[in-house]
Structure 1
Amino acid sequence: MPTSPFLESVHRSIRLRGYSLRTEKTYLHWIKRFILFHGKKHPCNMGAPEVQAFLSWLASDQHVAVNTQKVALNSLAYLYNQHLEQPLGDLGFTLATKKRRLPVVLSPAEVGCILTHLPPSPRLVIELLYGSGLRVNECLRLRVMDVDIPGGKLLIRDGKGRKDRVTLLGRSVIPRLESQIGMAKELHQRDLLHAIGPSIPHALGKKYPNAFRQPGWMYVFPSKGYCRHPVGNHWCRHHLHDSVIRKAVGKAQGASGITKRVTCHTFRHSFATHLLEAGYDIRTVQELLGHSDVRTTQIYTHVLGQHFAGTHSPLDRLMLGQAPVA
């Protein structure tokens, strides 16, 4: 939370523009670090040279990753361009280029092996990640109203880039998903006895004060306990924390004996790669993943090796007694 009147004003500005709570927390973190780096000098009395010095320090002294450096820059760009209305202009600073890393992809057999070592609730989450191409927090933020079982689809609200999208729902997961939704609804009914419901965005909660009583707002994967709403400060039930799923995946990987680096996001990568492998159009996969640019989706063609399809290793030709190709 903000620790000064200035940071409190930035906090209110970010919230007024409707950014997510995660973005709000991230921006405030980097703005605070920027101010402390310059000896608590007020940002109004600083500008592009100080921003450049801070970013250079992060790269050269703190050895932060390229993406971290970009997040810091975005935070300070918001501070000056949006909040203070003092555009930074050309910083004369070039961010380090992020080297391309191919995503880790599991084979269908490896996915199945990990699923067998997961407890029921985390397993259902991972099945949705792999079966629908979701990010882990997109899955955990699913509400009952977002699941269209007859239509075989899921509505993803406020995904990356603050975008909504629709993606497919695998038929094989429906029985377990219906059971999970049933348990969530039962929990919702018990919560209502104490006048407690699922956490709802603050603006909607004020506009529709009884919305929390509607089962459609209940999270499909609710948390075990109550918490305070981050804006309204009332008691509510949030969704399951992503650390629960990440820890379960780590244990399942260890039990399966798979040596690849496996994270929750690996199952989204595997979803995309296996669809392309099955011959689905890359534009279709792009829509299902929610990528703004098809070039982001094209990374999976490199995982498949489609860019060198039909090329034979010269060692194979040698072993077959053929002359190497000139």
Structure 2
Amino acid sequence: MSYDGEHAGISGDVAQLREPRLLEQVRNRMRLKHYSLRTEQAYLYWIRRYIRAYLPRHPRELDGAVVEHFLSRLATRDNVAASTQNQALSALLFLYRDVLGVDLPWMENVVRAKRPQRLPVVLSRAQVGRLLERLAGREALMARLLYGSGLRLMECARLRVKDVGLERNELVVRDGKGGKDRVTVLPAVLRQDLATQLVQVRALHARDLACGLGRVHLPHALARKYPNAAAEPAWQYVFPATRISVDPRDGVRRRHHIDEKVLQSAVRRAAREAGFDRPVTPHTLRHCFATHLLEAGADIRTVQELLGHKDVATTQIYTHVLNRGALGVLSPLDR
């Protein structure tokens, strides 16, 4: 069903709520607050779905009971995960508070679903080696960075040339989870491969410039503050896409970073070839980075800083998957 304000039975007030107008308000507000494109797309999906579910009533007429009904139906009828249910709630909070400007004291009583605590999948060092040796090219380099530097998948995909410190053996992660920057280790064994990758990036950028392109997307208001920065080599992605595409934010044709699905597919394929009987994703390599550092005696606060965790309690989950036992101790029987 298309929600275009002309749906049969919609009153005059609700007819004012045309989908393009409302969603455009949501989109503009999110970009003003510097939300990521992925969050923008997710919130727009849930807001559209919520409005359609309760037509012809206007969202201003709906109360906490309706929101609870919507969220409960997601869990009981659609069987969504707790994280998905919480994402839908966050989208509705944004709609009411930031777009419609409605004071919602009743929203404080809407209970967020509790996410289950699950242990991460961690491979042994030998298994990581078997996985990595089945990857090749840029996918192999990206996977090694995830394991060797503890990067998240999108942090690796969005890595810029200027944030690779070959001389200092460090990587600077910009605008990571929670909008935080951090510095993490660059494995010395990858210096030459990364240097080769950067040479290829500069050559590709030079070809794009010769074709009248070569201007990369800049975060926030940097494009206005530094109008020439988008064409500089330092701001280019370390892992650029193979093709030029249209940026959905402004409609400009440019070369974006590599699609994360490329590495996801490559890692799944390598895991199958290695014969693993557990689900392995690129994020598994980040889990391995943390666990293997703790096994080697690294301080948990140091690991927390390298991972970019806000709370050390998040990092402590890895102490439950150390090879020496559930609490990282040797069993008396092993002694």
Q: TM-score with structure 2 length normalisation?
A: 0.89
Aligned equivalent of 2:313: 295
**Farther off after superposition, 126-135 or 253-262:** 253-262
Distance in 2 between the 1:295 and 1:219 partners? 33
Question: Which of 108, 124, 130 lines up with 1:107 in the alignment?
Answer: 124
Alpha-carbon offset, residue 187 of structure 1: 0.1
Question: Which of 72, 76, 87 lines up with 2:88 in the alignment?
Answer: 72
> 1:232-271 to 2 correspondence within 5 Å?
232-271=250-289
**Farther off after superposition, 226-235 or 166-175:** 226-235
Distance in 2 between the 1:87 and 1:280 partners? 48
Sequence identity percentage? 48
Residues 203, 233 of structure 1: alpha-carbon distance in 2 compared, 3 angstrom cutoff: farther
Aligned equivalent of 2:241: 223
Alpha-carbon offset, residue 169 of structure 1: 0.6
Distance in 2 between the 1:40 and 1:115 partners? 54
8 Å CA contact retained: 1:118, 1:252: yes
> 1:43-58 to 2 correspondence within 5 Å?
43-58=59-74
Distance in 2 between the 1:136 and 1:310 partners? 33
Question: Which residue identity lines up with residue 118 of structure 1 in the other structure?
Answer: L
The superposition leaves residues 108-148 of structure 1 with CA deviations (integer Å, 9 ceiling, x where unpaired) of 11111111111211000000000000011100100100101
Q: Report the aligned-residue RMSD.
A: 1.8
Alpha-carbon offset, residue 308 of structure 1: 6.2
Aligned equivalent of 1:183: 200
- Work out whether 1:20 is the aligned partner of 2:36: yes
Distance in 2 between the 1:106 and 1:87 partners? 48
8 Å CA contact retained: 2:34, 2:220: no
Alpha-carbon offset, residue 231 of structure 1: 2.5
Aligned equivalent of 1:309: 329
Matched residue of 2:172: which SS?
strand
The superposition leaves residues 166-216 of structure 1 with CA deviations (integer Å, 9 ceiling, x where unpaired) of 111110111101101110110000000012112323632233332222100
- Work out whether 1:126 is the aligned partner of 2:146: no
Distance in 1 between the 2:140 and 2:131 partners? 9
Residues 235, 113 of structure 1: alpha-carbon distance in 2 compared, 3 angstrom cutoff: same
Distance in 2 between the 1:204 and 1:23 partners? 20
Alpha-carbon offset, residue 3 of structure 1: 3.9
Distance in 2 between the 1:263 and 1:50 partners? 37
- Work out whether 1:193 is the aligned partner of 2:201: no
Distance in 2 between the 1:89 and 1:58 partners? 23
Alpha-carbon offset, residue 6 of structure 1: 1.3
The superposition leaves residues 255-312 of structure 1 with CA deviations (integer Å, 9 ceiling, x where unpaired) of 1112221000000000000001111111110111011111110000011135262434
**Farther off after superposition, 166-175 or 255-264:** 255-264
Aligned equivalent of 2:7: none
Aligned equivalent of 2:27: 11
**Unaligned runs of at least 5 residues, structure 2:** 1-17
Question: Which residue identity lines up with residue 62 of structure 1 in the other structure?
Answer: D
Matched residue of 1:298: which SS?
helix
Question: Which residue identity lines up with residue 94 of structure 2 in the other structure?
Answer: Y
Aligned equivalent of 1:59: 75
8 Å CA contact retained: 2:89, 2:112: no
8 Å CA contact retained: 1:180, 1:220: yes
Distance in 2 between the 1:283 and 1:306 partners? 19
8 Å CA contact retained: 2:119, 2:321: yes
**Unaligned runs of at least 5 residues, structure 1:** 318-326
Question: Which of 291, 295, 299 lines up with 1:281 in the alignment?
Answer: 299
Aligned equivalent of 2:188: 171
Name the count of aligned residue pairs.
314
Distance in 2 between the 1:245 and 1:40 partners? 44
- Work out whether 1:151 is the aligned partner of 2:168: yes
Residues 291, 195 of structure 1: alpha-carbon distance in 2 compared, 3 angstrom cutoff: same
Question: Which residue identity lines up with residue 281 of structure 1 in the other structure?
Answer: D
Distance in 1 between the 2:220 and 2:83 partners? 30
Distance in 2 between the 1:238 and 1:215 partners? 14
Matched residue of 2:251: which SS?
coil
Distance in 2 between the 1:32 and 1:281 partners? 46
**Farther off after superposition, 103-112 or 209-218:** 209-218
